Amino acid sequence: MRALLVAVLCLGLCSTASAAVTQPRQQKSGPGGKAYAHRDWRVHKGGSGAEAFYVFEPARPRPKRAPLAVVMHGYFEYSGYAQMYELIRHTVRKGSVVIYPRWQTGDVEPCPGPFNVEPCVTSAVAGIRGGLKYLRGKGRVKPRLARTSYFGFSFGGIITTNLANRHRALGLPRPRAIFLEDPHDGGLAGAGEPALDDSLAGIPADVRLQCHSSADGVTGEPGKEGSSCNAVFPKLGHIPAANKDLVLTRADAHGTPALTAEHGVCAAPKGEADAYDWGFCWKVWDALRACAYARKDCRYALGDTPQHRSNGRWSDGTPIAPLKIQDAAPIAP
């Protein structure tokens, strides 16, 4: 009888213990959630060479007007939009039009990385202008330029920062929200992101801004502790602490598949999004824009709040490694 009881208890407990711990699914609602206003998107490719661009418009239903998001890829994506596919699709289905400038067609075309960033800045501006011209056409979703946000990954984060800084002189839409994803110029011209503008005083002080570094990304490389967001943040002293945050994600192998914190946590090709995408990247991106446009969901994107820190829970209820959040650089694991 005792052996039978032990066997029955073990059957229940052991099966639970042996069950694989998995990542949480995308949240049903709220920032980063799958409560989408639009079931599909419309994709247009325009321009040529480094001045080419993609425009993505919400569809089913198609709105007359929508906020604008400018999304920048990292170095080495010479064609297509695979690198940021999942973030773009999420952004569009949530109700924004997205312009994705090409800005690069080869290793040193049109710019040789950090040694001369200007040709890539110029091509990115041309791509944005081309996308805006396209959206002014008949039957397009008209962008609400007063609600413009910018997202930049890696070298695209450096370009995004410079564009936001020079938006007045370049005639670009004023940035209301900015998400920088491990911005980096490659380090070939030295540590500290020398491709950044010397001063970033042109970025509006009322912008809502987050800069993310991965624990195993740029700042985790030898000699680059002062690069990425640790180089950007000291130049943003004119932006109130309440409007900006410096954050860091850490790897978490509690479950399967493990969550990594390498360079490009928010860069997900089609079908490759994970819990860090919807639980961190998309959540903060959505909330940052909602905070900037309507003063909504600010606690999910700014400040050392539970809603901002949390990246969700593994299937067994264990919290995923939370965000590390600071108001000043440097940030480190």
For 231-251, write each residue's pLDDT tens digit.
999 999 999 999 999 999 999
Query: pLDDT by residue (tens digit) across 49-68?
Result: 999 999 999 999 999 999 99
Residue 109 lies in a domain: yes
DSSP state of 127: H
Q: Is the pLDDT of residue 8 over 50?
A: no
Q: Is the pLDDT of residue 7 over 50?
A: no
> pLDDT category, 19, cuts 50, 70, 90?
confident
- Residue 15 has a pLDDT of 41
> pLDDT category, 293, cuts 50, 70, 90?
very high
Residue 13 lies in a domain: no
Can you tell me the mean pLDDT for 274-302? Answer: 98
DSSP structure string for 232-243: HGGG-TTS-GGG
Q: Alpha-carbon distance 156 to 264, whole Å?
A: 12
Can you tell me the mean pLDDT for 89-110? Answer: 98
Q: Are 78 and 104 in contact (CB under 8 A)?
A: yes
Domain that holds residue 103: 26-326
Tell me the average pLDDT of the chain: 94
299: helix, strand or coil: helix
Burial state string for 26-56 with b = 16 or more CB within 10 A and e = fewer than 16: bbeeebbbeeeebeebbeeebbeebbbbbbb
Residue 332 lies in a domain: no
Residue 190 lies in a domain: yes
CATH code (residue 99)? 3.40.50.1820
Query: pLDDT by residue (tens digit) across 145-174?
Result: 999 999 999 999 999 999 999 999 999 999
Residue 199 lies in a domain: yes
Query: pLDDT by residue (tens digit) across 203-218?
Result: 999 999 999 999 999 9
Q: What percent of the chain has pLDDT over 90?
A: 94
Residue 3 lies in a domain: no
Number of domains making up the chain: 1
Pick from 184, 164, 182: which is nearest to 174 by CA?
A: 164
- Partners of 249 in beta bridges: 214
Residue 200 lies in a domain: yes
Residue 4 lies in a domain: no
- Residue 38 has a pLDDT of 98
Pick from 191, 282, 271, 197: which is nearest to 236 by CA?
A: 197
